Structure 1
């Protein structure tokens, strides 16, 4: 496929969201874009729901099944690689639990088409449904992201509503975590290497089916380790990052 052809698709990582995924798929299908569901080793009820959806919509929806649950990051990685291997240029990531505003898909895709070499990322506008602990903990993560990039270019590093340029993003995946540490790590590594990030405001609601797979101690531990890795990665990149700031990049 020629590099200048814009050919986007949607990737949705799914782990035991059998009650919400049908509604999400119905909403996302209105975009007209191809959809890839990545089953991250879900239990049998969710497996069956995903298989039924793939059989119901064979022309627009594909299903990639991972035998073992590896975490959200592992599912997104597998999905992005699959999309690239199957000829797509960009992958729009959206969560399976209904927290993201599906109506913004068109706006995100239009931004990606206008800026095909930029990572388009959501900048959440929360309603009253957001758990306060999540809201406050995100600010701590934001501080570390700003330190590790020496930049305020990333307004939110944890939003899972994004459009990735696939060719470039896939080169970063082996360096990124497999669980909830994936979203912040991949966007920092993107900024380090490719620089272009576009933040779009988007409404966020928590969540449609009440299922969260964030493991308090494990995922917070992994995120802490991730920030530590990025900090030391920033140190040896510091001259380059500061030079960019001097040049106004």
Structure 2
């Protein structure tokens, strides 16, 4: 697997699109087409998919600008993204644009996200969903409970949506964080990592983006298991916030 081509380099800003994939063989081709249409290289992280999906991913990886990392067993979205961060760094990226494989997000918005990241490379560029009628109401209302906990745990309204899987990370602080902190490896990953990066002083910029549910009808959200994980995560973060409270208040005052 080669490093990113010279054409992907603009100054010190070298982004790579990372897509965690688990059994999304019917949607991933269109997502890769959308990413490549904007001229961006991408890394597909095969999170232990079944053979039918793995075959599709191997075929996609034959294309120019498409890299593939195969995990032998399913590690969850967070585990796949953490593996993707390390592989992106090995390929020479400075930033990772994370986008879901199932077609929820519009790859046509990738240039906007990367432009925002290039303008402020130290910040997380965070997707703020604009939903259409396809959003399940239970999922929509449930997200607001997570939003409230995130606002409490950061003492801030800076993160408009902590569960959106479309965002740009600066790699250096992410790699430093995953070396020192235990972060949820499944659907608790997206809200936990952005809260912890916020604690570390990484600024968050929110970019509105359309979200639809999903093109191939495959969702790996476990209503019971993932809600339990997310509830435990909020409890951990709350006590983490209490330990950091003097520092967070001082920073907020400044």
The TM-score, its normalising length taken from structure 2, stands at 0.94
Alignment partner of 1:180 is 2:192:
no
* Structure 1 segments of 4+ aligned residues over 3 angstroms from their partners: none
* Aligned residue in 1 for 2:19: 12
Q: After superposition, give the CA deviation of every residue in 1:34-89 in whole Å (9 maximum; x if it has no partner).
A: 1100000000100000001112x0x3000000000010111011101110122110
Q: Which residue does 2:146 correspond to in 1?
A: 141
Q: How far apart are the structure 1 equivalents of 2:12 and 2:229?
A: 37
Match of residue 108, structure 1, among 109, 113, 116: 113
Q: Residue 163 of structure 2: which of 113, 135, 158 is its match?
A: 158
2:59 counterpart residue number:
52
Q: 1:87 aligns to what?
A: 92
Task: Provide structure 1 residue ranges, at least 5 long, that are not aligned to the other structure.
Answer: none
- Per-residue CA distance 1:141-186 (angstroms, 9 max, x = gap): 0010011011111000000000000011112224211000000000
Where structure 2 has 5 or more consecutive residues not aligned to the other structure, the ranges are 1-8
Across the aligned residues of Structure 1 and Structure 2, the Cα RMSD in angstroms comes to: 1.3
1:3-34 deviations in Å (ceiling 9; x for gaps)? x6110010000000001111111111112111
1:36 to 33, 40, 43: 43
- Give 1:166-245 correspondences, 5 Å limit: 166-173=171-178, 174-245=181-252
How far off its partner does 1:95 sit? 0.3
Provide the C-alpha distance between the structure 2 equivalents of 1:119 and 1:170, rounded to a whole number of angstroms: 14
Cα distance in 2 for residues equivalent to 1:45 and 1:168:
36
SS in 2 for 1:172: helix
Task: Determine the C-alpha separation between the residues in 2 that align with 1:217 and 1:105.
Answer: 32
Structure 1 Cα separation of the partners of residues 87 and 170 of structure 2: 13
How far is the alpha carbon of 1:194 from its aligned partner?
Answer: 2.2
Which residue is 1:22 aligned to? 29
Cα distance in structure 2, aligned partners of 1:80 and 1:123: 22
Take 1:139 and 1:172, find their aligned partners in 2: how far apart are those partners? 26
What is the deviation of 1:195?
Answer: 3.4
* TM-score, structure 1 as length reference: 0.96
Number of paired residues? Answer: 244
Q: Which moved more, 1:192-201 or 1:120-129?
A: 192-201
**Cα distance in 2 between the residues matched to 1:70 and 1:195:** 26
